[in-house]
Structure 1
Amino acid sequence: MDILNRLSTFIKQHALFDSGERILLAVSGGRDSVLMVHLFNESGLSFGIAHCNFGLRGVESEKDEQFTSDLAAELEVPFYSTTFDTTQYSQEHHISIQMAARDLRYQWLEEIRVDFGFQYIAVAQHQNDVMETMLLNLTRGTGIAGMHGILPKKGKIIRPLLFLKRDEIDQALEEKGYTYREDSSNESTKYARNKLRLEVIPVLKELNPSLEETFEANRKRFEELEILLDARVKELKSDLFKEVNSGEYEISLQALKALHPADTLLYGLFHPFGFTEAVLRDFKRAWDGEPGKIFCSNSYDLCLDRDKVILAKKKKEIEGAVYINSPDTDVAWNGKSYRGESKTLEQFTLKKENALAQLDFGLLKFPLTLRHWNDGDRFHPLGLKGTKKLSDFFIEQKVPLSRKNDIGILENGNGDILWVAGFRIDERYKISTNTKKVFIFEQTT
């Protein structure tokens, strides 16, 4: 089967794109991307060419850009180019030159794709690139996703040359007489990928001359294993994650302890929320200890709470106290709204609701304070004989540790707690036969 038929078969097999869709080709001017351009052109596909000048090789970079511009003009297809200060970007973001170039490239390509109506971005990676990526990932440490390397299609990125080996690309270029640009940096072993390609892989090929085919077969196995694992993780998440609030889940600790294999499934469950393997190892080591420990990702907190685990989006910075200077007022605190109102005893009807505080106005000392709970807080819960630490009260009420800071504490001007919002008022400030005026305070949103 000739190379054009193989390309067509590969595109259909992996559903890379539909006939008639416009594809933006990422073209460096090197052998791989130049062959991709000519194959798309000979196949009658609709495409444009995009070129990134990373400004890393001086005159060579300028010549690469001119070459790709001339190629686009020769084929009469749209051409887009840009120049980056890659070194400055890498320094500002504290990443390697290679990572900086990759980030800049894909960000810009996506902008061009959207702005000019292309459906996909095609990059010219081939089977040897997959093999090198798998070896790099294995050397650095990886999971199943890293072991299947580069996929033919991921989101809006497609890789239509993954059916080719490097020597097949070289052969096709020679047979067709296509010219391309040589990148001198490809021969430098200071880059890890080049070191693998130039020094390690030749030794491995002595052991297995069919190394590319072997790695391609391995890639497919790992890809299928990832599909199975993803299905298992999706099933577990559906069973274990009980959403109690928007962005907040309760998970049975006992169920997590029963997972097998634990490390792999824990990572599958919590990695989408930003948790690293190192953090999850610490979490696993701590789950038989005292409750209350919190483990963090950039956007979520994972809190051990007695017999369950609370997974919750990070709260915004905790808001300080607000002061209530007069009885008839509206206040906002911690993203919620509260309303205060005073009534004569004749205007008032007692409601048996914990959602509002109904207090003896004559015992209050303004300004009142609405705040978060503090360690060491005590109050006298309505209906009990003595005082109780607020932390113990929360435990008895089964308040998740992650939600304590959401609960408003209404404090009198003399320092006594008047109301634990949504739970209980203080016995000492309840309405009695001596009450002449009532203060009502409730959360309205």
Structure 2
Amino acid sequence: MINQANTLFVFLASVLVFFMTPGLAFFYGGMVSKKNVVNTMISVFMITGLAIILFIAFGYNLAFGKDVAGILGLSKSFFLNGFDLKAIYSKETGITLLTYLMFQMMFSIITPALFVGAIVGRMNFKFLIVFVVIWSTLIYYPMVHMVWTPSGILAKTGVLDFAGGTVVHINAGITALILSVFVGPRIGFDSKSEIKHYNLPWVLLGTSILWIGWYGFNVGSALTISDVATQAFLTTTVATGTSFVVWMFLDMFIKGKTTMIGLRTGALCGLVGITPAAGYVTVAGAFAIGAICTLASYSFIHFVKPKIKLDDPLDAFGCHGISGIVGSLLTGLFATKIVNSHIENGLFYGGGFHLINAQLIGTIFTIGFVGIATSMIVFLLKKIIPIRVTREDELMGLDLAEHGERADYGVDFDLEK
């Protein structure tokens, strides 16, 4: 029997998750230099079409098809042929397979878009397109299967990932790190210098869209209108508000001033950190996760990153990778049956070390699997397609070199510059 209320709930959540990708385009596009705005926004937004085709062609099969060794799904169907989309996905939620498929499709769009922030201004656009196809096929869909299907090897170990701490954020964050290393630093890169951002109001707009869309991401993962969904809404809000404020005060006391880029980074850390735990922790747990994830990401971005001279311009790894890892581990400490009766208690709620061990194993496995697989894909693919644009194109800017367009002509009336 179809539950119409839950179906509408998941539909709305799916729209919100989809809205995150154009929001991310503004988010990233506002932060890059003026000559790379169009390329950055296209690199993010083109994934909407690409990921949709991949998901319906074979992606859903690989993620949710018949289990193969707990690593991926497999089905002979192509373009969803053979799937009864009107069938009930689960009796508990009362939503159809089609409804669940649409929700998961939106996750497959936003996830690869996240690592674009690590390679802006220097990656060959053709390489990025092919990489996204291969990466989605060999890494993203198997990660979904391993974590979010009952037969997945990580699910069987007891890993908790409410809305994508491992599947989305650690996955995208580690990929961003590997890509930034392979593509190399920008010409004239100085770890102490800052990008001259194109449009800070776009950054605020993008941050706001992402925060709003994240409610679809986290709350929608409950798949039902329930106490767990309401709790996920609250914990998402509290963690993000906490991280936002913690980053603001860190900037004030350490750097002497609060910046728009700092505020957006702080908010993102809370959103990322609470994602694996949103439907499992109390408000106190959400507060702690928001604060701790922010401290971890802030420390990496401002103290570790300059020392290792990592050129991750928009901190895709610093936010998604670091806060994703920390948030996943903290889930093992703060998860509680008080919030969700379907799970076991974390360490701080009398559950012992079993859950924190499961989170540690899941996190380490994700880092290793994604790191090795991504490295192999890049190593082989760059032998066929150049990973980086030419020096001349990079100096010109990828907007003109790759696309023959410039960002908003209304902002700059001197078109010859």
TM-score (structure 2 length as normaliser): 0.23
Q: Which one has the bigger helix percentage?
A: 2
- With a CA cutoff of 8 Å and minimum separation of 6, indicate the structure with the bigger relative contact order: 2
Larger proportion of strand? 1
